[in-house]
Structures are given as C-alpha cells and as structure tokens.
Amino acid sequence: MKKADLEKALYQTDLFAGLDSLVLGILADNGYTRECSRGEILFQEGERAEGFFVVLSGKVRVFKSTPDGKEKILHILGAGEPVGEVPVFAGIPYPANAQTLEPCLLFFLPGKVFSAQIGMFPKLAMSMLAVLSRRLRLFTTQIEHLTLKEVPARLAAYLHTLREESGGGEGSLVLPVSKAQLASLLGTSPETLSRILGRMTAAGYLVVTGNRIEICDPEGLALVAEEGRME
C-alpha cells in the first residue's frame, strides 16, 4: 500500500481520526501493513504486547480459551477498530487471543512508537482515551447482558444494535459472524441460539435465511431486548 493511501486509511479509523498529516506520516513510516487470510492468529494470551493492530478491512475476533478447550468470544472488531491496544497502553501481556474471521488488511504499530508519539502529540492520547472509554462502555453493557438478561433479550439487543449500526432502515441484516460464534458471544450454546431464533421467527419478529436476518418487527424486538420476554 502506498504511503498516501495508508495515511488516508489511518485517518478513517477510530483511533487516528482527526490527526494531522504530520502525525499520520510518522505512524505510517514506523508501522507496517499485514495482509492476513481467514483464521490467522494475531497474538495469543500471555504473549508480550509489543504493539497493537488496527483493522483496515475485514473482521477479527478476540477470545479466551478455557482449560477444557472451549472458547469464549469477547469482541468482534471490524474496520477502523484497534486490536490489542489496551495491554500496550497498560504495559501488560495480551490478556486474550486474537484471530482473523475473514481475509483482513491490518496495520501494526509498535508500542514504543505509539508511546513516543503520545508524548509529542496530546491529541493522540485523547483519541486513545476515547477509544478505551467506548470499549469499556461496550464491555460493561456486555457483562450486564450476560449476568442480568436471559438469552432472548441478549439476542434481541444484539440484533437491534446491528440494525442501528447499519442505518436502522428496512431490509435484511447479514450476521458478521457464524451462528456458532454468535452463540459464544452471547454466552449460550448453538443449540439454544437456534431454538430462540426459531421462536422469534414463529412470533413474527424476524425471518432467518442462513446468516441473513430480516427484522419484521423492530419495535417488538426492541421490547424483547428491554424486557426479556416474547409475546
């Protein structure tokens, strides 16, 4: 990727949006892009955090593995989002694993470079704090859903959010992950997820065709997300 194109791509990310060309040029010169195929491991839990990635295209999952081999997805991150920035910022090892869900173009920035630029350009520090704050809010909401809401409400809230992120208009949604991965993200089993999708279809909230979901009753789905029960 040409440097000018890389700078433009970085400018469009959550972390580097609004930075001037001088800072973007320094970041582009000191980091590198990486093309990944589906299923590549970016880092593993416990590894020293030498730097972090920014997703330019594609999707990455962040997950933890249990001793019995099961996996729990913590985040699904897409274009414009950083991956592994928290341990770099905090000076700790990676607390989880990261793997590409599809072909990706990533930008890797060494932690030492980022730390040096933060000292020189306070706006970069403010951008990082904003990203960390948003990530904390999302994680807090996720924990709240997992601990206080039943699976139908978690699924409804996820689909409602996905609809809003796509513009909130009519039409179908395409799940960004497989149903098995969605089940992990929601803290349930694929079998339970399939049963709930069937119940929501029978109740008229949505129509499921593979990984494509048509939301037929957005108001009703929002009510399920809020109250946790289906009529």
Q: Which helix (H) or strand (E) holds 174?
A: strand 172-174
pLDDT of residue 137: 67
pLDDT of residue 74: 83
Q: What is the pTM of this model?
A: 0.72
Q: How far is CA 228 from the centre of its chain?
A: 24
pLDDT of residue 66: 78
Given a contact cutoff of 8 angstroms between Cβ atoms, the answer to whether 165 and 138 are in contact is: no
**CA within 13 Å, CB half, 81:** 17
Given a contact cutoff of 8 angstroms between Cβ atoms, the answer to whether 113 and 30 are in contact is: yes
Given a contact cutoff of 8 angstroms between Cβ atoms, the answer to whether 188 and 151 are in contact is: yes
Residue ranges in the chain whose pLDDT is less than 50: none
d(CA 226, CA 202): 20
Pull the structure tokens for residue 40. Answer: 């590549």
pLDDT of residue 230: 66
pLDDT of residue 142: 63
